[in-house]
Chain A
Amino acid sequence: MHLTNEDVQDILHLLDTLPFGEFHLRTESFELHLRRAPDGEWTQATEVLARPQMLPPAPTPAGPTGTGGAGKAGGTTGAGEAGAAQAAGTAEATGAREAVGAAETADTSRTARAEEADGTAGAAPRDGLAEVRSPLPGTFYRAPNPGAPPFVEVGSEVGEHTVVGIIETMKLMNSVSAGIRGTVAEICLADAEFAGQDAVLMRIERD
Chain B
Amino acid sequence: MLIRRILVANRGEIAARIVRTCDRLGIETVLAASEADLDSVPARLAGSVICIGPARPAASYLSVNAVIAAALAARADAIHPGYGFLAENAGLARACAAAGLIFIGPAAAQLAGAGDKLRARENALAAGLPVVPGGEVCDVGAAHRLAREIGWPVLVKAVGGGGGRGIRQVGDPRDLRPAIERAVAEAGAAFGDPRVYLERFVAPGRHVEVQLLADGDNAIHLGDRDCSVQRRYQKLVEEAPAPRLTARLRAGMHQAAAALGAHMRYRGAGTVEFLVDTRRDAFYFLEMNARIQVEHPVTEAVCGIDIVAEQIWVAEGHPCPAQESVAIAGHAIECRINAEDWTRDFEPSPGTVTAAVFPAGDGIRVDTCVQAGTPVPPFYDPLLAKLIAGGKDRGEALRRLRGALARCEISGVATNLAMHARLVADEEFARGGVDTAWFSRFLAGHTAPAREARAGARSPDG
Contact = CB atoms under 8 A, between A and B. Distances in A.
Given A62-B59, A137-B378, A169-B350, A84 B91 contact: yes
Interface string B44-57: 11111111110111
A52 interface: yes
Most buried by B among A42, A51, A57, A61: A61
B257 interface: no
Contacts of A55: 30, 48-50, 73-74
B49 to A, nearest CB: 5
Most buried by A among B361, B365, B403: B361
A131 B51 CA distance: 37
Most buried by A among B39, B52, B64, B360: B360
Contacts of A8: 360
Given A42-B359, A62-B66, A146-B189, A80 B95 contact: yes
B281 to A, nearest CB: 33
B381 A80 contact: no
B429 interface: no
B347 interface: yes
Contact of A2 (B23, B72, B339, B356): B23
A84 B373 CA distance: 32
Given A43-B407, A57-B50, A89 B58 contact: yes
Interface in A9-52: 9, 12, 34-35, 37, 39, 41-52
B24 interface: yes
Contacts of B192: 83, 86-87, 90
B65 interface: yes
A137 B362 CA distance: 39
Nearest to A66: B65
Contacts of A34: 360
A46 B59 CA distance: 32
Contacts of A83: 64, 89, 91, 192
B65 A91 contact: no
Interface string B342-378: 0001111010000111111110011000011100001
A56 interface: yes
A31 to B, nearest CB: 9
Interface residues of A, number: 72
B30 A60 contact: no
A52 B56 contact: no
A39 B50 CA distance: 43
B33 to A, nearest CB: 8
B98 A44 contact: no
B91 A91 contact: no
A71 to B, nearest CB: 10
A48 B45 contact: yes
Nearest to B50: A55
Given A62-B66, A145-B189, A169-B348, A76 B98 contact: yes
A169 B46 CA distance: 27
Interface string B187-212: 00111100000000000000000000
A181 to B, nearest CB: 26
Count class of interface residues, chain B: 35 or more
A54 B20 CA distance: 19
A117 interface: no
Interface stretch (A92-100, A149-157, A158-166): A92-100
A78 B92 CA distance: 10
B357 A44 contact: yes
A90 B45 contact: no
A78 B91 CA distance: 9
A138 B65 CA distance: 25
B159 to A, nearest CB: 14
A97 B406 contact: no
B361 A41 contact: yes
Contacts of B350: 136-138, 169-170
Interface in B156-193: 165-166, 186, 189-192
B104 interface: no
B186 to A, nearest CB: 5
A43 B44 contact: no
B99 interface: yes
A81 B64 contact: yes
A84 B89 contact: yes
Contact of B99 (A37, A54, A73): A73
B191 A136 contact: no
Interface in B62-83: 62-66, 68-70, 72-74
A120 interface: no
A61 to B, nearest CB: 5
Contact of B49 (A46, A53, A95, A192): A53
B65 A62 contact: yes
Nearest to A138: B378
A93 B45 CA distance: 34
B175 to A, nearest CB: 14
Contact of A53 (B47, B58, B89, B355): B47
B382 interface: yes
B372 A87 contact: no
B435 interface: no
Nearest to B344: A106
Given A62-B63, A170-B348, 20 more contacts: A2-B23, A35-B357, A43-B357, A52-B43, A53-B49, A57-B73, A58-B66, A58-B70, A58-B72, A58-B73, A61-B65, A62-B65, A76-B98, A80-B89, A85-B63, A94-B166, A136-B347, A170-B339, A171-B381, A172-B346
Interface of B: 20, 23-24, 30-31, 38-39, 41, 43-53, 55-59, 62-66, 68-70, 72-74, 86, 89, 91-92, 94-95, 98-99, 165-166, 186, 189-192, 339-340, 345-348, 350, 355-362, 365-366, 371-373, 378-382, 403-404, 406-409
* 5 closest cross-chain pairs (CB), A and B: A80-B91, A58-B69, A80-B64, A58-B73, A170-B348
